[in-house]
Amino acid sequence: MENQRLLLFLALSLVILLIWEAWQDKNTPVTPTVATVSSGETTPLAVPADKSAPTTPSDLPTAVAMEEPAQPAEAADNANMDRGSLATQKRIRVVTDVLDVDIDTLGGDLRRAYLPTYPVSQDTPNKPYPLMGDELPQLFVAQSGLLSQQGGPDHHAMYQVDQDQFVLNDGEDTVTVALRWTDGNGLEVIKQYTFTRGSYLIKLDHIVKNNAGAEWKGRLYRQFQRSEYDEPGKSRLLYTFTGGAVSTPEIPYSKIDFDEFAEWKAEQSYTTGGWVAMLQHYFVTAWIPKSDEVNNIYTRNYNDTRYILGMTGKEVSVQPGQQQVLDTQLYIGPKLQHVLEEIEPNLKLAVDYGILSIIAQPLFWLLEKLHQLTQNWGWSIILLTLIIKLVFYKLSEASYRSMANMRQLAPKFQAIRDRYGDDRQRMTQATMELYKKEKVNPMSGCWPMLVQIPVFISLYWVLLESVEMRQAPFILWITDLSTKDPYFVLPILMGISMYIQQKLSDNPSMDPMHRKIMQFLPIVFTLFFMLFPAGLVLYWVVNSVLSILQQWYIMRKIEKATA
């Protein structure tokens, strides 16, 4: 009975955890904070858009007090939403070994991004995953520009470029795309993207050349603009977070749900280093400034159709005849922990294992080591499950010994049931007296197993969140551990194993009605797990089989000793 209750408790705990985390993401209150400006007044760091504002470019700041954290305007983009996309001009295509992107000469925005090494599905290996695009309903672009009272190119400015396609050829390590803008009065800005072989990290430089007769002052901003949509292949059953995230030295990782964009405020007006990102299952895009760079983080919500997350740098000055480079980095790609950590230590937190990360991280580390040995994530999961069972062997042994001792009392439990019949109070009292007399604690078999629950839940998040599981084959018909078993073989095996465990764990003290209810659990769990990713079900099947073998061995040993 204890093992059956444990299985039920594990499932309920997992469901409750998922619901709780989703509720937390939706309902965590945000502390309102304001930034002080030079006039002594206060203004919110993230001001919601005025839905009644005219859709013209006139809302772009042209006379911003330099002490105030200026933010770019988006009204010019609103005029194009009726057409289902942002305004566009000439497209520049850039192809590397891991990225296929489009840059628009209007603003120099990165408008489209495909990941050639990550197909949408195994059935379409030549169809790369579409991570970014500039058409509704799946709008997602990366924008950047300069804000200045003297004038400067924002993401509405028109750039010029020498060619319309750039390809990283064999033997080349980098490819550079340089877009040029000039105001006709001596100010020139070169917006330069640098792509590197084998890397999802893009270097972006704004090279400001001041050939005018007066000092130029301005600041760099960069932002993501995204609509709320479900990415291709996302499971509707399993919760994974989609939305914004920020990192500062004080708060290494904080998620922002789309519902919070209008009201979200940064914890402080300026932050040094850090990053801002848009997250989704398996993939992340992030703006990463220099570690010593001071920025202001902001969010915006436009008509509940577009959500903006960005950061604005502090003002810089360029003297006549001088130039200055304002550089930043843009990551567009999968949530590969080692890669993200090398770029910025806290960026690996985009792989979100939840409140049990302290356990999940070592489990992922061990799973990786096993994969280096097996070169197959399915066999790695099996070996990891075996290791976990060995670590908890003694705890499981105590649980199964308790079950065996309970079965030894079967005749006495039946005698109590026959004697007291419908008098449930007397029957319960007699049962407790029997426990006391025989020195048997019915909960002693449960507590050792409860200790393992955090490990089980942590492994669940590791298998769910890790992009390495995406489209990872195992054997035979299981060609993708991140999707459901196409023939439901694993869920059926899990149901069978659960039924066998019930028979082994049958407790004579269990109420008959309770026993009937428990008999339906294998069916319910089988149907439930039919929609789970194969990697998760594989873990449960292997764990159940190992538990059956261990339980059978221990109970047989005890029964022989008492025979």
pLDDT tens readout for residues 350-382: 999 888 889 999 999 999 999 999 999 999 999
Cβ neighbours around 481 below 10 Å, total: 26
How do strand 165-167 and strand 91-95 relate by DSSP bridges? Answer: parallel
CA–CA gap between residue 301 and residue 546 (Å, rounded) = 51
Ranking 228-237, 335-344, 373-382 by mean pLDDT, the lowest is 228-237
Residue range 155-166: mean pLDDT, rounded? 94
Cross-strand bridge partners of residue 294: 272
- CATH 2.70.98.90 in the chain, residue ranges: 31-48+57-231+239-352
Residue range 460-476: mean pLDDT, rounded? 90
- Backbone φ/ψ region at 454: left (φ over 0), alpha (ψ -120 to 50), beta: alpha
Give the pLDDT score at 330.
98
Q: Exposed/middle/buried for 450, CB within 10 Å: 0-12, 13-18, 19+?
A: middle
- Classified by CATH at the fold level, domain 31-48+57-231+239-352 comes out as Beta-galactosidase; Chain A, domain 5 (2.70.98)
Residue range 320-335: mean pLDDT, rounded? 96
Q: Is it the case that residue 177 has pLDDT exceeding 90?
A: yes
Kindly report the backbone phi and psi dihedral angles of residue 539, in degrees, each rounded to the nearest multiple of 5, phi listed first. Answer: -60, -45
Residue range 59-86: mean pLDDT, rounded? 47
The pLDDT mean for the chain works out to: 80
Ranking 133-147, 156-170, 431-445, 482-496 by mean pLDDT, the lowest is 431-445
Give the pLDDT score at 363.
93
- Say if CB 261 and CB 267 are below 8 A apart: no
Give the pLDDT score at 84.
54
- Residue linked to tokens 């194969």: 534
Give the pLDDT score at 125.
87
CA–CA gap between residue 96 and residue 86 (Å, rounded) = 25
Residue range 404-411: mean pLDDT, rounded? 68
Q: Give the gyration radius of the chain's Cα atoms.
A: 30
Q: Which residues contact 395 (CB under 8 A, 6 or more apart)?
A: 448, 449, 451, 452
CA–CA gap between residue 534 and residue 490 (Å, rounded) = 7
Of the candidates 216, 541, 202, 549, the one whose C-alpha atom is nearest the C-alpha of residue 381 is 541
Give the pLDDT score at 127.
93
Give the pLDDT score at 255.
93
pLDDT > 70: percent of the chain:
74
Q: Which amino acid is at 292?
A: D
Residue 80: pLDDT band by 50, 70, 90 thresholds?
A: low
Q: Check: pTM over 0.75? Answer yes or no.
A: yes
Angle between helices 2-27 and 453-465 (to 10 degrees): 50
Secondary structure class of 493 (helix, strand, coil)? helix
Give the pLDDT score at 62.
29
Q: Residue 507's Cα: distance from chain center in Å?
A: 42
Supply 161's token pair: 């470029």
Q: Is it the case that residue 405 has pLDDT exceeding 70?
A: no
Give the pLDDT score at 556.
77
Q: Is it the case that residue 424 has pLDDT exceeding 80?
A: no
CA–CA gap between residue 25 and residue 239 (Å, rounded) = 11
Q: Is it the case that residue 175 has pLDDT exceeding 90?
A: yes
Q: Is it the case that residue 30 has pLDDT exceeding 70?
A: no
Residue 97: pLDDT band by 50, 70, 90 thresholds?
A: very high
Q: What is the pLDDT of residues 4-22, one digit of tens each?
A: 444 444 555 554 444 444 4
Residue range 53-82: mean pLDDT, rounded? 42
- Say if CB 440 and CB 406 are below 8 A apart: yes
Please state, in angstroms and as integers, the Cα–Cα distance from residue 476 to each residue in 72, 378, 391, 485, following that order.
Answer: 53, 11, 30, 11
